[in-house]
Amino acid sequence: MDPSGSIMMKISDYCSTDDDCLNDGKCVKEANGIVRRTCYCSFGYFGQNCDRTFDAKPENDKCFNYDYPKDEKKYNKYGLFGEECFKKIALNENDFVYSRVVQDELEIILDYESTSWISIGWRPMEIDRSCRLFPDLENTRNKRDTRWTLISHSTIQMNESQYRSPIDLNLMPVPIPKLPENNGLLRAALLAPLHPMDCTDIVIGSVRDGRSRINDMYTRDRSTPLYDIWLDGEESFSAAYGIERDGRTIVMFRRRIAEIEPSDHPLGPGEIFVIYAKGQMMGSYSHAVKSALDQGPISDHNFYRQDEVKYHGSKSFLLSVTEIIRFAIYAPKNTFCFFRQKSWSTLCSICFCR
C-alpha cells in the first residue's frame, strides 16, 4: 500500500537484473503481469528478492531433503521427501497434497502434474460474507467523518516552550475511521453466497530452470490474487522449496497453523474450505465453454504463457460445486484431515487422518 493506505495497482518490477535477486537468484520477465520482472530463487531460498531461508533447518532430517539434490537416494519421492512421513491426499488422479504437523506449523507439499504454476487456497468454513470488505479499496482507514469538527485551539500560545504547549481541554475526540461501505460491490453482491475464490488465502508456486517462485497471496474475489506484501502483510512462510521433475511441479511450504495477519487465514483447528488450481498447459487447453484457443483462429497463440497466472477455466481449477476439498486440523491431536465433497450438501464418509 502507499502511505495514504490505498492499494497501488500500478505495474512494477521486483528486480531489474539478476543482481537484484540474491543467493544466485534469477530475474525473470513476466509477460502481461502486474509485476513485470520477478525473482526466481535457488533451492533453499525464497522471498521477494531471495533473501530468506529456513532458519530452523534441521540436520539429517529423515522426512525432507533440505540439501537437495544431495542425498537423493535417502528420500523415496523425487529424492526430495520421504513419503512415509506425510499424509497423502489425492485431489484427482494426477495431483496430490502431502502434509504433516511440526509443532505449531503445518508443512504442505503440493505435487501436481504441471510444468506451469500450481496453487492451493483456503478460508474458514464459517467466514462471514462481509469478508469481501477486506482489503479496504475505498481507503476509508484514513478518512474521517466530516460531521466532526474541532473547536478552535487558538488558545495555545505559540511563543511558549515548544516542549510544554498547553493542552486545550475543549478539543473533541478524534472520530474512529469509517469502515468500507461496499468496496465497489453492489448490495446484491455483498449479500450473495461466497464464491469458492472469495476471501481466500492462496499460495502460488512455479519453477523455472531449477529455481522457484513461491508467493503468499490473497484474493477478495475472482480477480487475480494479490501479494500479501501489498496488503500490509508479509510472506508468512518459515520455509519454501520447489523443484520440477518428470513433468511435475513439487512445492513445499511451511506456515504457522494460527492466523498471522489480516491477509492470512488460520489452518485450523477445525474444518477449513480449500480450493486448488494449476496453469493451463500449451497444447492441452481446457475450458468449460470452448474458447477461441479451442475452436477458432486467434491472434495470440501464446495467451497462456509459461508460469503466468491466469484464471480461465481449466478443468484443474476447483471453482465449482462439483467437487470441493475440505480439510481440518484438530490441534490437540495434531490431526490433519481431508473430506471429499461432491456437492454442497453431500459429504462422503471417508476421512483420512494422521
How much is the average pLDDT of 244-262?
92
d(CA 333, CA 104): 12
- Cα–Cα dist 280/220, whole Å: 22
Q: What is the pLDDT of residue 67?
A: 95
CB 115 within 8 A of CB 247: yes
Give the model's pLDDT for residue 68.
96
Interior/surface letters 130-150, b for 16+ CB within 10 angstroms, e for the rest? eebbebbbbbbbeeeeeeeee
* Residues whose CB is less than 8 angstroms from the CB of residue 271 and which lie 6 or more positions away in sequence, other chains included: 125, 326, 327, 328, 337, 339
| Cβ atoms of 282 and 293 closer than 8 Å | no
Residue pointed to by grid coordinates 531489474 = 16
Contact criterion met (CB below 8 Å) for 251 and 81:
no
- Give the pLDDT confidence of 304-340 residue by residue, as tens digits: 566 666 654 445 444 322 233 445 443 333 334 444 4
Give 183-240 pLDDT, tens digit per residue: 677 777 778 888 888 999 999 999 999 999 999 999 888 888 888 888 878 889 999 9
Cis peptide before 69 (omega within 30 of 0): yes
Label the pairing between strands 96-102 and 324-330.
Answer: unpaired
* Candidate CATH numbers 1.10.3470, 1.10.3430, 1.20.120, 2.60.40; the one for domain 85-134+189-352: 2.60.40
- Could you state, in order of their start, the residue ranges of all structural domains in the chain? 85-134+189-352
Task: Calculate the CA 113 to chain-centre distance.
Answer: 20
User: What are the angstrom distances between the C-alpha of 55 and each of 24, 66, 229?
Assistant: 18, 12, 21
Model confidence pLDDT, tens digit, residues 111-159: 999 999 999 999 988 888 888 888 876 665 544 333 333 333 333 333 4
